[in-house]
Amino acid sequence: MIPIPSAIDGQSFLLQELVMKPLGYVVNGGWEYDHGYFDYKIDDRDGYLFLRVPVNAVQGSLDERGAAVRIGTPFMLRQVLQTDVDDQAEGGPFQSLFNQFSEPERRDAEIDPAFLDIGASLVKELEDVLLH
């Protein structure tokens, strides 16, 4: 994980007014009522490299209309996935129809320094869109 300092860190917005999806960000599947992440996929060779933007609820819950969030420090994260069968799978063949996804082999894998400029430019784009 590589944090990228930004002027958006600590800024609050109404969740419905964040214009991140049109820029290519997706809502990460790990959303909770009080926090979540927007992810921008930078690379998908040998795993996934994301720019991740954390948000925390400061008014209401993330699933409520009118929720407000505070943005945290954006960071780059690379996850390398397992290529073999998930040895932690439970429940037999029927349950495997629903639990198809393996845990990452490495949740915080090394990031090639060549990608750091891309992460910085994506954060700059967010600053330009959200703060102006």
Q: Where are the domains of the chain?
A: 2-83+91-131
Instruction: Enumerate residue ranges in the chain where pLDDT < 50.
Output: 97-101
What pTM value is reported for the model? Answer: 0.80
Burial class (CB within 10 angstroms; exposed 0-12, middle 13-18, buried 19+) of 49: buried
Residue 79 has a pLDDT of 86
**CA angle, corner 37, sides to 36 and 43, nearest 5?**
155
Residue 105 has a pLDDT of 52
DSSP state of 24: T
- Cα–Cα distance for residue pair 84/35, rounded to 1 Å: 32
Q: What is the CA radius of gyration of the chain?
A: 17
Residue 100 has a pLDDT of 47
The tokens 């029927």 sit on which residue? 94
- Cα–Cα distance for residue pair 30/38, rounded to 1 Å: 10
What are the pLDDT digits (tens) for 34-46?
999 999 999 998 8
- Cα–Cα distance for residue pair 129/132, rounded to 1 Å: 6
Residue 93 has a pLDDT of 55
CATH class of 2-83+91-131: alpha beta
